[in-house]
Chain A
Amino acid sequence: GDSVTQMEGPVTLSEEAFLTINCTYTATGYPSLFWYVQYPGEGLQLLLKATKADDKGSNKGFEATYRKETTSFHLEKGSVQVSDSAVYFCALSDNTDKLIFGTGTRLQVFP
């Protein structure tokens, strides 16, 4: 079945460092791809999305490009802030009723 694999955390960075969180997927069709962010004590918020190959989703300085050839949707940010500390979830929708989530990657940013 369809699945999402994320890199293990925690990812620990200093403020203004470059961030990459890897996400790869397995799907039989042509899924839509998402990144969600969960701040401490809160629910999940949609961060960005991409619906077809080569699409780039972007929001709040974060970007991810839908790469069909490598089945990847890596999350990047050029300069992280302390306020970016959160858990990040990669997810896919194969256009059925459900989202399939990765296990989440915790990001910790220190001043």
Chain B
Amino acid sequence: NAGVTQTPKFRILKIGQSMTLQCTQDMNHNYMYWYRQDPGMGLKLIYYSVGAGITDKGEVPNGYNVSRSTTEDFPLRLELAAPSQTSVYFCASRTGQGAYEQYFGPGTRLTVT
């Protein structure tokens, strides 16, 4: 059982470039989330999805886009990368029932120079 997987693990972008961070979960969870974690800081919610075809903004959505065409996948798109987007990005998922704990992927470390 792989849980939540993220690719790539590391990436360096130049200012103005674009990229997609991939997130896949194999737990059949309806809910999926994208967070960013700046050095020494807590997590900030970027976007989330409550099911295929449904997405919503979190606390810091500017500069990002998401889509949810399947239950398993929730890619995060960065358009026109900026140094302020240098961060570690975590994807998470949860079931729609129970105590609502989220399960996290290993993260993608992104540097924009």
User: What residues make up the interface of A, taking CB atoms closer than 8 Å to B?
Assistant: 32, 34, 36, 42-46, 49, 51, 89, 93, 95, 97-99, 101-104
Q: How far is the CA of A10 from the CA of B4 in the complex (A)?
A: 29
Interface contact A103-B102, CB-CB below 8 Å = no
Query: Do A42 and B106 contact each other (CB < 8 Å), given the known contacts A34-B101, A102-B42, A103-B42?
Result: yes
Q: Enumerate the 3 nearest inter-chain pairs by beta-carbon distance, A residue then B residue, closest first.
A: A43-B104, A93-B100, A103-B42
Interface of B is mostly: strand
Query: Do A51 and B42 contact each other (CB < 8 Å), given the known contacts A43-B90, A97-B31?
Result: no
Interface contact A89-B99, CB-CB below 8 Å = no
Chain A CB within 8 A of B50 CB? yes
In the assembled complex, the CB of B30 is this many whole angstroms from the nearest CB of chain A, namely 10
Q: How far is the CA of A74 from the CA of B17 in the complex (A)?
A: 44
Chain A CB within 8 A of B43 CB? yes
Q: Which residues of A contact B31 (CB under 8 A)?
A: 97
Interface contact B50-A46, CB-CB below 8 Å = no
Chain A CB within 8 A of B34 CB? no
In the assembled complex, the CB of B11 is this many whole angstroms from the nearest CB of chain A, namely 15
Which residue from chain B places its CB closest to the CB of A36 in the assembled complex?
A: B104
Query: Do A43 and B100 contact each other (CB < 8 Å), given the known contacts A97-B48, A101-B42, A104-B42?
Result: no
Q: Which residues of A contact B4 (CB under 8 A)?
A: 43
Q: How far is the CA of A42 from the CA of B31 in the complex (A)?
A: 21
Chain A CB within 8 A of B45 CB? yes
Q: Which residues of B contact A44 (CB under 8 A)?
A: 43, 90, 92, 104
Q: Mark contacts of B76-113 with chain A using CB atoms, 8 A cut-off: 1 yes-contact digit, 0 otherwise.
A: 00000000000000101000000111111111000000
Q: How far is the CA of A32 from the CA of B43 in the complex (A)?
A: 18
Interface contact A45-B104, CB-CB below 8 Å = yes
Partner of B50, one of A42, A95, A97, A99: A97
Q: Which residues of B contact A97 (CB under 8 A)?
A: 31, 48, 50, 56
Chain A CB within 8 A of B41 CB? yes
Q: Mark contacts of B57-82 with chain A using CB atoms, 8 A cut-off: 1 yes-contact digit, 0 otherwise.
A: 01000000000000000000000000
